[in-house]
Chains A and B, each alone.
Chain A
Amino acid sequence: NAGVTQTPKFRVLKTGQSMTLLCAQDMNHEYMYWYRQDPGMGLRLIHYSVGEGTTAKGEVPDGYNVSRLKKQNFLLGLESAAPSQTSVYFCASSYSTSGLNTGELFFGEGSRLTVL
């Protein structure tokens, strides 16, 4: 019963390097999200996806790209990492309820990224 799995859990990058964070869910959820969490800022939405092959921008999308080629996976990419992207990144997934509402979000354990 894995739920939402994020890899890697920790990563240190140098400015300008690139990397990809992988989020995988085994609950057949339609919706997936990437958030970043910084002290005192709460969770800020980077990008999200409402289904396989679709992505959309959230509050803070600049410097990030995403892809959802398979329903169970949602990838977050940093093409040229900057120190301002040092943060804890959380992936979440959810399902649709019968009405115009989204069900609870299931979060991964987080990925701590440090950019030097």
Chain B
Amino acid sequence: QQPVQSPQAVILREGEDAVINCSSSKALYSVHWYRQKHGEAPVFLMILLKGGEQKGHEKISASFNEKKQQSSLYLTASQLSYSGTYFCGTEQDFNKFYFGSGTKLNVKP
């Protein structure tokens, strides 16, 4: 039931772009994306709903393919502050969230 995230880790230079993917074997009500810094709690980035509606971060975009139960997070012109571990959370049953194992992003100067 846990969604599958890829890649597991990414190393970028400032200004470079990255894509993080999330795939579920079950139909989804919604997909959430969160970022977690070391030793801190996960912080909300974005929600993607069935039908294409999105809510969230101004500088980060994402897509949600309802038919394939897949979502991708697009990080453009990365900044040092983007470093952290990114998790997708999939709402497979109403109110019930399963998270992927995370993608560790390291942005270097």
Which A residues contact B (CB, under 8 angstroms)? 31, 33, 35, 40-45, 48, 50, 56, 58-59, 90, 94, 99-110
Contact = CB atoms under 8 A, between A and B. Distances in A.
A42 B32 contact: no
A43 B99 contact: yes
Nearest to A102: B95
Contacts, number: 68
9 contacts: A42-B101, A44-B2, A45-B99, A58-B96, A59-B1, A90-B42, A104-B55, A106-B44, A110-B41
A45 B95 CA distance: 12
Interface residues of B, number: 28
Contact of B42 (A31, A41, A107): A107
Interface of B: 1-2, 5, 29-30, 32, 34, 40-44, 47, 49-50, 55, 87, 89, 91, 94-102
A45 B96 CA distance: 9
Contact of B87 (A42, A99, A103, A110): A42
Contacts of A110: 41
Contact of B34 (A40, A101, A105, A108): A105
